[in-house]
Structure 1
Amino acid sequence: MKRLIYGYLSSLLFIFGMGFFSSAYAKKEQLVILTTFSQEPLLPLVSEFNKIHQDLEVKIIHRRTSSSIQLLSKSYIDNIDLILTSSPYLMSHLIKANKLVDMPRRFKAPEWLMPYVLPLTNKVVTIGYSGAGIVWNQDYFDSHQLPLPQGFVSLIDPIYFGHVTMSTPSRSGTTQMMLESILAQYGWNQGWQIILNVAANFATISSRSFGVSDTISRGGLGVGPTIDSYAHILQRKLDYVRFSYDKDFTLMPTYVGMIKQTTNDEHALAFVEMLLSHKIQSQMLKNSFSKYSITDDQLVKNPHVSLDVDTLMRREVGINLLFDLAITKRLAFLSDTWLAIINSEQRFQLDPDKLLLIQQAKEHIFMMPVSLNEFDQKMAIFAELQSDNSVQGNAQFLASKEEWLHQIRSELNEHQTRANALLKQLNGSVNQ
């Protein structure tokens, strides 16, 4: 009998015990944030939010801009509450697809920041902003006896050959904003000439936006363009990392948007309100998020390029294609020809006739063989074909894109051949 009683009591304890542990370890409510930023800078913000909402689990999902757009076009969007990014491309895609909810009007950005806010809508809240410029490793510069950079355009100097790195615009929305800034500031033809000339000095191309600052901080390379937050974080730990803002680059606001759900979680709105609170805004530049507060206008006091969101969206795919075709896939050829030109300029620096031939060779390798008018026409055609969601429309878009890329590739190769022929002519005249 005692054994039966003990067995019964043991069973009750087991049952109640399981109930206790299951309630103790019950799944917490989640707030899921999709972001184009790396996870580490957001941890102080999450920690602050959890002080108020201790029973809430905040989950951060990091994706690049292009990956985020693909992710949010699928049913997985039902699991996302907030989007946090500095990419106007991502936010514009979501707005166009009607995926974001209207936000309270009290969240409107200050007037002095409005020229840089893309896109202008009450579906997106601006919580801070960044600038962009040039980061370099001073120890590396001292070792290689390099002059201090005076901005992106200064990196065309042959002295920086093999010391520069940059991320690709197809994998970094901030890089694409930098390229569009150069094109807006200097015009289509001269802008691409500058970009191609700087690219000829590349040693590598980074697949990650924060890879530029990371490589430079480790001494792998010397200099490159970056958003300020990556450089500022490194400067707190490494005294040889230097950074200078570039007036040719636009300012880049940081945006947050709330994904439209059947029932939106009140915690998502609470997180946005926390980001705009005095406590967070006053600490934003000092913590690992490293953004300027929307109450701090110090960067706006200096002139910066402002961009048009409609132009950016219309050119988004095309700019990526041109960069990858003219630079990423041709970097070895571009670098080899540029080095040959550098050596020829040093060799014939006192011969005006030969310097004229060298200048012609430079014009060939730093020419984007697509006019702005032609580019705009192609983008309009692509947009129309992409708006047709049928199998036939998609096939026509892919065929049209490949035909265009083949044409550009052929013209790039032709300019490369002409440049090499001019350099060969120089050497041949010397050997005669």
Structure 2
Amino acid sequence: MQGSRFGLFCRLLTGLAVLATTGSAGQAQQLRILTSMPPALTDPFIAAFRQAFPEADLLVLNKNTNSGIDEITRGNARGFDIFWASAPEAFAVIGQHHGFVAEDCPALDASGHVSFALSSIGWARRADAHIAMPGDWDDLLLPGYRGRIGMSLPSQSGTTHMMVERFLQVRGWEDGWAYFLRLTENLSTLTARSFGVIDGVRSGRFDIGLTIDFLAEVEPDLEFRYGKPVMIFPAQIGRLAGGLEPGLACDFIGFVLSDTGQRLLLDPGVGRIPVVASLRPEAPDAIPEPMRDAIRRQWQVYDARLAQRRYWAVNALFDIFISDLLPRRRELWVRLRALQGKFDAADLDLIERLLTSLPVSEQEAEREALNASPGRISDLITMTPEQDAVRTDWAAAALRQLDEADRALTALERRIRGARP
């Protein structure tokens, strides 16, 4: 949105606030907001909007991104007006199901949703931790981090789905999955929500947490480092079809995009970067240098449409090949490492390839029939028959792969036992 439009909106906002106070008393409008954003971000906006629109009643429901997508794509039965989240592919998925509406709202383009803040991903540790801070993504695969890393499930966290997609887009389908399959050796746990990663690091359940910047940087007892190259993710807000207060929803989105709303993002307790470039110099210290550099360079743009085309498949593949089999994968990695130095590298390379390859092609994952319905991966009732069948096939393939690695390890272990006097 251009600066002149922001100025016009702010003037209109003042007038609308006056009208709201002089309108029919006792007829409060209820704006229903569905969001995965933390209260540290939403609360300042809610409070500021209530000051401008004292007659408005705001109801905020916090859900993880994928549960929010599920609710909206199934018809928005509860009449939510606003969807507010960090993962841009979530908006592409809802948009595919005609879940947004843009009519009569100058703050929106034809898509019905708009970017309002910029973020990126990396990892966090406690500020008083003795463990070395990883320098780059590949450092997270080093032996010193075995059993000491936490991340959330992409099927439960929109930001983690975005993280997985970042690797698939930057490193490619095969190498991207190989990274996360290798990471299973060092994973301590997979949490149900993004907030669980921050809580786990803070409480000492694990030492390093893969997370998004705004969740970690507002925590005074944590240190955060961006993974490079930094890929920028535009957090978005949209007006939902079937909402009960479309006019008030437009007012709220306009307020978030106004200079007043954008300045709220620069507050240290919010820790977000405004999309309005002209406001960023007002608080240069609030924008870390890696993000300033990434904004200048824009070396690679995150493809939310590509993420949307394989949304269900990526979540299902991570659950099937990683989260469902994490204990067994870790045990196989331990056995493989115990054999290093005792056999030729070629014997061990075959087993490592079995542990780091995904027997599902990118083309298969992007099949429209699989991804037309986002579905809940672990709930057979909400999966289509084709999704259910494919999930069964993929689960069988994952087990076959690990069984083959198990047999190869057992054969080598028997050779060692047979060689003992």
TM-score class, shorter-chain normalisation, is 0.7 to 0.9
CA gap of 1:419–1:168, structure 2 versus 1, over 3 A, is farther
Give the CA deviation at 1:84. 0.9
Q: Deviations over 1:102-138 (max 9, x none)?
A: 2679647xxxxxxxxxxx9542111111111111224
Residue 296 of structure 2: SS of its match in structure 1? coil
CA distance in 2 between partners of 1:224 and 1:257 (Å): 29
Partner of 2:48: 48
CA distance in 2 between partners of 1:138 and 1:83 (Å): 34
CA gap of 1:29–1:325, structure 2 versus 1, over 3 A, is same
**Which residues in structure 2 correspond to 1:122-141 (within 5 Å)?**
122-140=111-129
Identity of matched residues, %:
22
Unmatched segments (≥5 aa) in structure 2: 1-24, 281-290, 376-382
Partner of 1:382: 370
Q: Deviations over 1:255-293 (max 9, x none)?
A: 111123487443222211221222232231324332111
Partner of residue 349 from structure 2, selected from 341, 359, 376: 359
Partner of 2:231: 250
Matched, 1:198 2:144: no
CA distance in 2 between partners of 1:291 and 1:172 (Å): 19
CA contact under 8 A between 2:167 and 2:176: conserved in structure 1?
A: yes
CA gap of 1:399–1:96, structure 2 versus 1, over 3 A, is closer
Of 163-172 and 241-250, deviating more is 241-250
Rg comparison, structure with higher value: 1
Partner of residue 184 from structure 1, selected from 158, 165, 169: 169
Partner of residue 168 from structure 1, selected from 125, 142, 153: 153
CA contact under 8 A between 1:135 and 1:231: conserved in structure 2?
A: yes
Partner of residue 372 from structure 1, selected from 362, 369, 385: 362
CA distance in 1 between partners of 2:374 and 2:215 (Å): 35
Matched, 1:427 2:416: yes
CA RMSD of aligned residues (A): 3.0
CA gap of 1:208–1:262, structure 2 versus 1, over 3 A, is closer
CA distance in 1 between partners of 2:76 and 2:362 (Å): 38
Of 300-309 and 150-159, deviating more is 300-309
CA gap of 1:383–1:275, structure 2 versus 1, over 3 A, is closer
Matched, 1:416 2:397: no
Q: Give 1:289's aligned amino acid.
A: V
Give the CA deviation at 1:162. 0.7
Partner of 1:336: 331
**Which residues in structure 2 correspond to 1:55-66 (within 5 Å)?**
55-66=55-66
CA gap of 1:271–1:380, structure 2 versus 1, over 3 A, is closer
TM-score, scaled relative to structure 1: 0.78
Of 69-78 and 159-168, deviating more is 69-78
**Which residues in structure 2 correspond to 1:397-412 (within 5 Å)?**
397-398=386-387, 400-412=389-401
Partner of 2:301: 306
Partner of 1:274: 255
Give the CA deviation at 1:416. 2.9
Unmatched segments (≥5 aa) in structure 1: 1-24, 109-119, 388-393
CA gap of 1:304–1:431, structure 2 versus 1, over 3 A, is farther
Q: Give 2:353's aligned amino acid.
A: E
CA distance in 2 between partners of 1:30 and 1:380 (Å): 37
CA gap of 1:168–1:275, structure 2 versus 1, over 3 A, is same
Q: Give 2:266's aligned amino acid.
A: L
- Number of residue equivalences: 376
TM-score, scaled relative to structure 2: 0.80
Residue 393 of structure 2: SS of its match in structure 1? helix
Partner of 1:91: 91
Q: Deviations over 1:117-165 (max 9, x none)?
A: xxx954211111111111122433x1xxx33202332211121101001
Q: Deviations over 1:70-121 (max 9, x none)?
A: 322455445211111122333223322323222679647xxxxxxxxxxx95
Q: Deviations over 1:192-213 (max 9, x none)?
A: 1111111221111111012112
CA distance in 1 between partners of 2:246 and 2:258 (Å): 19
CA gap of 1:285–1:420, structure 2 versus 1, over 3 A, is farther
